[in-house]
Amino acid sequence: MSAAARRVRLRALAKINLDLRVLHKRPDGFHEIRTVFQTISLADSIEIAFSPARKTSIELEQDVEIPGNLMLRAAAVVLEAMGKTGRVVMKLRKQIPIGGGLGGGSTDAAAVLRALPVLAGRVVPIPLLVRLASALGSDVPFFLFGGKAVGIGRGAELFPLPDGKARSAVVVAPGVQVSTAAAYRNLGTQLTAESARHAQDGFSAAVWGRESAMRNDFERVVFQQHPQLAALKQRLIKAGATTALMSGSGSSVFGLFRTKEDARRASKAFGNAASAVSLVSRRQYDRIWKRQLVPTYINQSI
């Protein structure tokens, strides 16, 4: 790689859904949802290097093969938006479980959207960046901002929430594969006007801080197909979690704990499938990104 190459090393943080309600199917084929996103300290490691060139080439080395990795699409669309060409070389080291409802693919794509303009010396307006993120996936826009936020519509329309007090959690990723499409399809048979009204009422209570009101509508159908996930939720509660929920459409299950010590102690009972994590506020998220987006010059391949 030429001496003009610039590189950043990033931590792309995961999320959990502190609440998730599915209301109805929209005319565009997507479902209308209400959710509360929350970033957590579990993160993938990414390196990105960029050097100007007459033609664009994008390379990705990943330690786990992910067909159709969104990072490649994210790099292509943000370069096009900037009107830049060049060589992009990326490395991905996965720590966020794949298919766990923790937003691993989305946060990696958002990391590329944020980093490449800095490496290319360009500024992409936030509205355009959000538009690019939304086209990549419903969860991607959230990872441009992090912290705690309400997501409505497909989940891409975001409204920030005040960060609560520092909390710890345990995330258990059992490796069960859950089809999001099948979960929506099975849930669709249970959606009625009355259920939508109750869902919105309960969601409002959860947003206003009633932990006892937190719910994930997908649990109704996913737990029927995968009862071991329901058992994990109960184990987390017995281990001292004040609240336990499935994240997204699964299959990861998390529990909130009062202290770091409680979370660490509980995580040991679940072995390698569990991670003790912290909830990451928007201010902390901003600080992490300010530290990360300081490029270094390199003269060899990453």
Asked if residue 251 has a cis previous peptide bond (ω within 30° of 0), the answer is yes
Count the Cβ atoms, other than its own, within 10 Å of residue 213: 16
H helices within the chain, ranges in order?
A: 70-82, 104-120, 126-136, 180-188, 193-207, 219-225, 227-238, 260-268, 282-292
Active site residue 15: yes
CB burial of 226-252 (b: ≥16 within 10 Å; e: otherwise) equals: beebeebbebbeebbbebbbbbbbbbb
Residue for token pair 């966020």 = 96
- Tell me how far apart the alpha carbons of residues 51 and 29 are, in angstroms, rounded to a whole number: 40
Taking Cα atoms as reference points, which of 135, 108, 247 lies closest to residue 180?
Answer: 247
Residues 233/218, Cβ–Cβ less than 8 Å = no
Taking Cα atoms as reference points, which of 300, 298, 299, 289 lies closest to residue 46?
Answer: 289
The HSE-up count of residue 234 (CA atoms within 13 Å, CB side) is 6
Active site residue 94: no
- Tell me how far apart the alpha carbons of residues 101 and 277 are, in angstroms, rounded to a whole number: 16
| Catalytic residue chosen out of the listed positions 19, 108, 139, 163 | 139
| Catalytic residue chosen out of the listed positions 15, 84, 148, 233 | 15
Question: Catalytic site residues?
Answer: 15, 139
